[in-house]
Amino acid sequence: MYPAHIESYYRPTTVAEALAAITRQPEGDSMFLAGGQSLMQAIKSRMVRPTSIVDLQSVAELRGIDQANGLRIGAMTRYVEIAEYEQFPAAYAALRDAAERVGDRQVRNRGTIGGSVCWNYVASCLPSVVLALNGTMSLASADGSIRDVKAKDFIIAPLETARREDEILLCVSWPKPPPKTGSAYKKWGLVTDALPVVGMCVSISLDDLGKCRTAQVAVAGLADGAQIADAGGAALIGSAGDEASISAAMNDVADSVETHSDHWADASYREQLIKRLGVEVTLRAFARARR
């Protein structure tokens, strides 16, 4: 595992400079480098061989968490910053659940939300969270235009997103949270904080009577990567947050998605994980929505 020859290295300080640098090379030869916690592995194993690296570490406008107008998390915001941010509204608390359990301290000190969703690894945490929370990805290109893409249109398949190679992800954002909304995420991996064999993210909004008004469920770790489970969201509507109705909804989730067997877990074990983790995170999402 060692990188092949790399021709050039740029460290732009603005988004415009970063986009100019990425378009200077023929398409595919140049890659953005964020925390490097996925890309460096791919470069070392020579799965990708960029001739040019555009390091985003000094682009200040890509960093930080801001709640001036809804919630905006800059693409270069690291897991450690999300894990230590104490002001997430209940609606977006799943972001913190996920970030504080990614890998290990050293990975969280480098890895970014932008890198995670742009890489969209088959077994990863943040892609499922942005799906369940219906985040918006803002992408900028060299001609100065910016387009907003909803998570469900952005996350396409493992290692595949709606981002074009010459686009930079600026941020992931959300509107001001609707009232009585809560979310939660939890995963199970082979060792503590490992990549998810299964991860579950649930977002719930309650009506005035405390019944579920809208719900969104996403599953991480499927053969097709992170996926929304529409059946789960639909089955939770009307639930008062009791374990029986949540259990029934999570059975629907397990039935509706296709689980696979690999050296980590077989398909039926994955189904059990979906049900068990699903009930646990849905109860937590309800509790957070009630607060």
Residue 231 CB, shortest distance to ligand FAD, in Å, is 24
- Pairing mode, strands 155-157 and 52-55: unpaired
Helices (H), 72-124: 79-83, 94-99, 105-108, 113-119
Residue 9, binding choice from ligand FAD, another protein, none, Cβ under 5 to 8 Å by partner class: another protein
Residues 6+ apart with CB under 8 A from 45: 1
Q: How far is the CB of 95 from ligand FAD (least distance, A)?
A: 12
The only residue of 102, 133, 228, 254 in contact with ligand FAD, by rule CB under 6 A: 102
Q: Judged by CB under 8 A, does residue 192 bind another protein?
A: yes
Helix or strand (DSSP H, E) at 231:
helix 230-236
Structure tokens at 205: 């909004």
Tokens of 146: 């910016």
Which of ligand FAD, another protein, none lies near 109, with the C-beta cut-off 5 to 8 A by kind? Answer: another protein
Q: By CB under 8 A, is residue 24 in contact with another protein?
A: no
125 vs 217, beta carbon nearer ligand FAD: 125
Q: Which of 16, 23, 24, 57 binds another protein (CB under 8 A)?
A: 57
CA angle 131, 132, 134 (to 5 degrees): 60
Name the closest residue to ligand FAD (Cβ): 115
Q: Is 223 helix (H, G, I), strand (E, B) or coil?
A: coil
In the complex, the residues that contact another protein under the rule CB under 8 A are 1-9, 11, 33, 36-37, 40-41, 44, 53, 55, 57, 80, 103-107, 109-110, 191-193
